[in-house]
Structure 1
């Protein structure tokens, strides 16, 4: 079972990338960057691989994480990230915004990677008012939204 985790994780990362590409969005919002909600640890965070692949495609990224602010010291983690994606390590601080609402407003499609009441509100708003695709990798809602452009992975 342990041996299959790597394959499963890689498959989910590739599926997320394909789902975003299928939207045709040129500016993608990411709600949740850290490996685990409530921490500022970005090392080994699967969304970083998704973000790097989308950036390589020329897609602009805007991201938010409630545990990562302008005061968060990411220097050591960015050095670690340089081993997997030097370009993303350099760009990540500029991709992060303080206001999660900016992600929902400015992005053409949204990826949600953390269960968070604010992110649920913003995803709902994006679907209802912006008619924006939402890729949900954490099963944000107990009852799935009735929205054609709502997609999920891993649930």
Structure 2
């Protein structure tokens, strides 16, 4: 199960990296097309869709690597049992919020498909396509938070180190 979950997080991160490279290509295409006096319709919209896809698909991998912003000052000031209780409470709330966000993201993508929503730009992209990346990323993030919560309950979660914030730059 651990290998499957890690594969899911790594796969989402690889897809995010691919979308980031595509984002670079879209921005370069936009710049080059302006310099050479021709227009490629939809480049700004597609760059936005790719940026959103990159961000959402990278969330779970970032969480599992311990790279999300955490307020550890308060956490490390608490005694052992209170620290664990606070950690469990925070993970439970984060899991609930991630599950709700995933639910509503999936609902948005589904409704965009059912109502045949299209973008207002020249490209008239069906909006369920870019909404799918948000829905997929938020579902994987909810799974990652649930994974972290289960690991914390079982006592198998790696603790946050006091100097972890110093290594992020």
TM-score normalised by length of structure 1: 0.29
Q: Identify which of structures 1 and 2 has the higher relative contact order when contacts are C-alpha pairs closer than 8 Å and 6+ apart.
A: 2
| Greater C-alpha Rg | 2
- Which structure is higher in helix share? 2
Structure 1 or 2: larger strand share? Answer: 1
TM-score (norm. length: structure 2): 0.27
